[in-house]
Structure 1
Amino acid sequence: MFNNRFKRGLLTVSLSLNIIFVLFFIGKRFYYSHQSLFHHVITKDERWADFLKSKAGTGEIIFLGTSITEGFNVQYEFGNPLVKNMGFAGSISENGIQAINKLIYRKPKKLFIEFGVNDFKYGISMDTVKAHLVSMLYLIKDKSPNTVVYVQSVLPTNIDSLNNKIVRYNKETKNICLMRDVTFIDLYSEFLRGNKIDADLTIDGTHLSDAGYFNWRRLINKYVN
């Protein structure tokens, strides 16, 4: 009888632990998929408001781009509070023009530009994307001629048809930069494995993993510092 009670007790404890274990992981998944219920998510307008009311500083370095840039913790990676990130998820090249119009009065020391992948995903023509890039470069040259500009190539993805467009765009963008004495940084080839983005450097075929951001920082560190 004692053994039976002991076995039933062990079974009860085991079942209870399993239930707690399952509930923990269900709760964890719910938390991470519904973080907005637990934390205030800073909106794009709030980020811009905070940025524009901040002190510019004489050596301000600003990153503009898509969600790929947004996920780049530049202040931490480069150990410099004057390195600012104004990348936004879903951004297209036209948004780059809008962003530059908002911030160029600050006369940043350097601007790093990353646009294009969303344009091509949304079916925007290559000529339009190139025209937007030229407009960005013109605006910077006109409003803040001492700002040093770095145009970063569009990164590869895991989609062949998209990569074909990106390769062509990067080649033509490099020529645009050469004609305007602007530094073009080829990131594309440094993220490849075969003909697609290195799976170790991405989390979903487009956005970067920690290893991907480490690789990016390695490639541009000499331009930032």
Structure 2
Amino acid sequence: MSKQTTELTNLDPRIKQFQSDIRAKFAVENKSIKKGQIVFVGSSLMEIFPIEKMQKEKKLGLEKIIYNRGIRATTTADLLAHIDLQIFDLKPSKIFINIGSNDIGFNVPENTYLSNYDEIFRQIKEKLPNTEVYALAYYPMNAVYNFGEEKHEHASMFATRSNDDFAKMSEKVAALAQKHNYQFINVNANLADENGNLRPELTFDGVHMLPAGYEIVLKNLMKYL
């Protein structure tokens, strides 16, 4: 399987500028952070996880500091392109990854996406052989509730995303994690309703969660932190 070695070029210029700005911010922060800590990495679903704020305010009792290196609209190819900035520069002792939902949403071919994910794991294994790695299952979504968006916005959001697709890809990510002796974890308990959809009170658009949703995820994550 060949890797997708180039990043997507058809993103909204405003998003690309935001990505550039946040990467510049991370580059500065990485010079002074404490190494050997915990890193959360991924796309917007990780970026908006207020885990750093939660750790400060909730006094989680952890020995390690959590650094969030999520960036919106990130694909597996993007993470490969910036893996030093988002992972290796921090020399973490634990990594929690939630990446690939944009690959699915942007119609990146499955073999390319999985090859990229495999390469991410391979590089981590090579450069950080003693680091614990946890790949997260994809969160459930809610494509049936009306969140106030325009019909075309709703159609665009869910045209290439579904809970079934995410469940199937989660299984394949789990297999990749097992291949590299990493852990695959499902921290989605209590996020979905009786029909398997993300509970509407936990999301503002059916995909991205509100802090209340991340409170649940954090509770489910604690035993791994």
TM-score by length of 1: 0.74
The one-character-per-residue Cα deviations of 1:136-187 (angstroms, maximum 9, x if unpaired) are 1100000110111010111121237522211110111112212221111113
Q: Secondary structure at the match of 2:170?
A: helix
- Given that residues 93 and 130 in structure 2 are in contact (C-alpha distance below 8 angstroms), is that contact kept between their aligned partners in structure 1? yes
- Gaps of at least 5 residues in structure 2 are 1-19, 57-61, 144-157
Q: What is the distance in 2 between the residues matched to 1:144 and 1:222?
A: 22
Within 5 Å, give how 1:1-16 maps onto structure 2.
none
Q: What is the distance in 2 between the residues matched to 1:190 and 1:129?
A: 28
- Given that residues 78 and 221 in structure 1 are in contact (C-alpha distance below 8 angstroms), is that contact kept between their aligned partners in structure 2? no
The one-character-per-residue Cα deviations of 1:100-133 (angstroms, maximum 9, x if unpaired) are 2334144211111001211111111222221111
More helix by share: 1
Q: Secondary structure at the match of 2:184?
A: strand
Q: What is the distance in 2 between the residues matched to 1:55 and 1:133?
A: 26
The one-character-per-residue Cα deviations of 1:46-99 (angstroms, maximum 9, x if unpaired) are 322223212333x31111111111111212323467210110111111122233
Q: What is the distance in 2 between the residues matched to 1:133 and 1:143?
A: 16
Q: Percent identity?
A: 25
TM-score by length of 2: 0.74
- Given that residues 91 and 118 in structure 1 are in contact (C-alpha distance below 8 angstroms), is that contact kept between their aligned partners in structure 2? yes
- Gaps of at least 5 residues in structure 1 are 1-41
Q: What is the distance in 1 between the residues matched to 2:81 and 2:26?
A: 12
Q: What is the distance in 2 between the residues matched to 1:190 and 1:217?
A: 12
RMSD (Å), alpha carbons? 2.5
Within 5 Å, give how 1:183-202 maps onto structure 2.
183-188=183-188, 190-193=190-193, 194-202=195-203
Q: What is the distance in 2 between the residues matched to 1:63 and 1:216?
A: 13
**Cα distance, 1:190 vs structure 2:** 4.3
Structure ranking higher on relative contact order (CA contacts 8 Å, 6+ apart): 2
Partner of 1:97: 80
How many residues are matched? 185
Q: What is the distance in 2 between the residues matched to 1:50 and 1:190?
A: 37
Runs in 1 of length 4+ with deviation above 6 angstroms?
none
Within 5 Å, give how 1:45-124 maps onto structure 2.
45-57=23-35, 59-79=36-56, 82-102=65-85, 103-124=87-108
Does 2:123 correspond to 1:139? yes
One-letter amino acid of the structure 2 residue matched with residue 175 of structure 1: A
Instruction: State the structure with more CA Rg.
Output: 1
